[in-house]
Amino acid sequence: MITNYLLSGMVGIMLFFTVVVAPTVFKVLPVEWSSKYVRNFFPKYYATLGLITLICVFTETDSTSKLLLAVCAVLFAFTFFYLTGKINNAKDSGNNRLFHWLHGSSVVINLFQLITFIYLLIKAP
State the pTM of this model: 0.94
Is the pLDDT at 14 greater than 90? The verdict is yes
Tell me the per-residue pLDDT of 29-79, one tens digit each, with 9 for 90 and over.
Answer: 998 899 999 999 999 999 999 999 999 999 999 999 999 999 999 999 999
Give the closest residue to 56 by CA, choosing from 13, 94, 18, 5. 5
Neighbouring residues of 42: CB distance < 8 A, sequence distance ≥ 6: 84
R_g (Cα) of the chain, nearest Å: 15
